[in-house]
Copies of this chain bind each other. A is one copy, B any other.
Amino acid sequence: MLTRSEEDHIKAVHALLEVGGSASTTEVAERLGTKASSVTVMLKKLADKGLMKHEPYYGVKLTAKGKAAALMLVRKHRLWETFLVDRLGFGWEEVHEVAEQLEHVRSTKLIDSLSEYLGNPAFDPHGDPIPDRNGRFPSRSTVLLTDCPLGAAIRIAAVQDGSDGLLQLLNRKGIGIGMELAVAARQEFDGSVDLQPAKGATITLSAMVAAHLLVEATGTKAKSSH
């Protein structure tokens, strides 16, 4: 059985491999608020347990077993976030820390019951996909708002790596998951994007914010720019 610290390390490695393709000792340490030396020892231990492949000085990869463990943690984390927001009325910027604790509770029955109770949601309040009990992700074709053609009709699908500050900013601008908009303009100068809701004022997002937003194209075809 895994300790809490072991679970944290697996989750950190998995998250880093997801985005960057590599998970360095230092990066893992930063993410966990520990030191590289501690991480080295821990990764070695997890490698001995068969959860990772660790080539000293060359980084780590997760084994199938390690990946399954990571996905189960992601599943638990996102289901609890969904519970906190949908049922207990938390704001989406408040849930991370609590979910971080809840995800370590060990009970298969609990997590499967929770999923069912919530209606087996496929996406969490931030729009991130929730793996099913076999570790399979729901499929969906999304693209970064940054890469969206001008005039495209889109739906906000997810906020990637949303810090509390970013989520609060989106709250203030009135942007939420599932919201439908059109890409009205993009400023060459600073990369900022203007979004037009069906009704109401245009919303301007900086390039920095846009780079965190995953969107999916809606049925409506993109208009050519004018």
A residues sitting closer than 8 Å to B (CB atoms) are 84, 87-90, 94, 97-98, 101-102, 105-107, 109-110, 113-114, 117
Are A110 and B84 touching (Cβ within 8 A)?
yes
Task: Evaluate contact between A113 and B101: CB separation under 8 angstroms.
Answer: no
Given B84, B101, B113, which contacts A89 in the complex, CB threshold below 8 Å?
A: B113
Whether the pair B110, A98 counts as a contact (CB closer than 8 A) is yes
Which residue from chain B places its CB closest to the CB of A106 in the assembled complex? B101
Please state if A90 and B109 are interface contacts (CB–CB under 8 Å).
Answer: yes
CA distance A217 to B101 in the complex (A): 42
Beta-carbon contact of A107 and B98 below 8 Å: yes
CB <8 Å contact, A88 and B114: yes
**Which chain B positions have C-beta within 8 A of A97?**
107
Kindly identify which residue among B90, B105, B117 contacts A102, using a CB–CB cutoff of 8 Å: B105
Interface of A: prevailing SS? helix
Q: How far is the CA of A84 from the CA of B101 in the complex (A)?
A: 18
Chain B, residue nearest A105 (CB): B101
Closest 4 CB pairs of A and B: A88-B113, A101-B105, A98-B107, A98-B110
Q: What's the minimum C-beta distance from A32 to chain B, rounded to whole angstroms?
A: 18
In the assembly, what is the distance between CA of A110 and CA of B85, in Å? 11
Q: Which residues of B contact A114 (CB under 8 A)?
A: 88
Taking the closest CB of chain B, its distance from the CB of A217, in whole angstroms, is 36
21 A-B Cβ contacts within 8 A? A84-B110, A84-B113, A87-B117, A88-B110, A88-B113, A88-B114, A88-B117, A89-B113, A90-B113, A94-B109, A97-B107, A98-B105, A98-B107, A98-B109, A98-B110, A101-B105, A101-B106, A101-B107, A102-B102, A102-B105, A105-B105
Minimum C-beta distance from A143 to chain B (A): 35
Closest-by-CB residue of B relative to A113 is: B88
User: How close is A37's CB to chain B, nearest CB, in angstroms?
Assistant: 24
